Amino acid sequence: MNYKLKKFRNKWCVYWVEDGKSKRKSLKTSDHEEALRRFDDFNSAQTENSEFVSGIFKAWKKDKQNLASFETSCMIINKHLLPWFGAYRPDQITKDKCREYTAFKRKTLSDWSIRRHLGILRSALMWKDKNTLAVIELPPEGLPRDYYLSKDEFYKALDCADAYHIKLFMVLALTTAGRMTALLELTWDRVDFDKGIIKLATGEHRIKGRATIPMNTRCREALEDAFKFRTCQHVIEYGSKPIKSIKKGIKRVAERSGLEVTAHVLRHTAAVWMVQNKIPLETVSKYLGHTSTKVTYKHYAHHSPDYLSEAAQALEF
């Protein structure tokens, strides 16, 4: 729920919209400073009350800190789920509310992302009560996109990169199969030239997808070149500062090359190339940092040259 502080008839109140209707709760003061304090107390009460989703999420996070995907889950909870579901009790979460959430989030997110969001909500509520009264409806699973670049297409895209930091990102994205955020947060203290490894995780970082990756020849050459001209602690930099997002630069590459290039496509391409070269799926899973090989098998098994070949041979007659 998105709570706002507003004035009504010379008194400050908490304002929000629920089920399409405007609601308010008086803070019984006309003093702004006091209203701010009471507004903070009101928000804290919503968060602490274990009867509400916000309180359940708070307790769930304390119990699930060792999850590999903990920090990503917390980001999804804080940014997406709490503003929408936080002020509701589990019994107030219905199919209709989930459908409203799905319809709203489809403006900016894929159904895959929305399924993950609602899956986290369902997990937290069932952690609190296996017989929860909440009714969670996920959008249809659909088919995963399977677009990837050939080697010629990757070279073409790389030639269309108009800046050094974009080229460096593209090379590292393909040779490490790392996620965009992991690569943009990579610092030189986690690049070990002596051992030939890159630690995408920071210390005890638990975000999934952050594995320790060995450098191949192309990766080492790119890193050694970047190391010579470094001006800050981040591997990928621009103007001596770290970069928060590379999406605009990659979008320009896509426009110039005529190819569907994104950070995810580069990671997906890396995985497909490995599988096509008969790298065991268990190894690919570790390289990608997947928390379960089920995800790897689901998305990449069919790219193996030997996929179902033994089964086909059994049907010879």
103-110 mean pLDDT: 90
The answer to whether residue 141 scores a pLDDT higher than 80 is no
Q: Which residue has the tokens 């930091």?
A: 165
Give the pLDDT score at 201.
Answer: 81
Give the pLDDT score at 228.
Answer: 95
Q: What Å distances lie between residue 224 and 42, 171, 196, 242, CA to CA?
A: 54, 13, 11, 18
Does an H or E element contain 212, and which? strand 212-214
Q: What Å distances lie between residue 283 and 213, 244, 296, CA to CA?
A: 11, 30, 10
Alpha carbons 54 and 155: distance in angstroms, whole number: 48
255-284 mean pLDDT: 94
The answer to whether residue 1 scores a pLDDT higher than 80 is no
Mean pLDDT of the chain: 88
271-277 mean pLDDT: 94
Question: CB neighbours (10 Å) of residue 25?
Answer: 12
* 213-246 pLDDT tens trace: 999 999 999 999 999 999 999 999 999 999 988 9
Question: CB neighbours (10 Å) of residue 200?
Answer: 23
Q: Which residue has the tokens 């210390």?
A: 203
Q: Quick check: 73 and 113 in contact, CB under 8 A?
A: no
Confidence grade of residue 25 (pLDDT, cut at 50, 70, 90): confident
The arrangement of secondary structure in 151-303, i.e. its CATH architecture, is: Orthogonal Bundle (1.10)
Quickly list DSSP for 10-24: TEEEEEEEETTEEEE
Per-residue tokens: 307: 């996929």
Nearest to 161 by CA among 81, 259, 78, 304: 259
Look at residue 266 and give its three-state secondary structure: helix
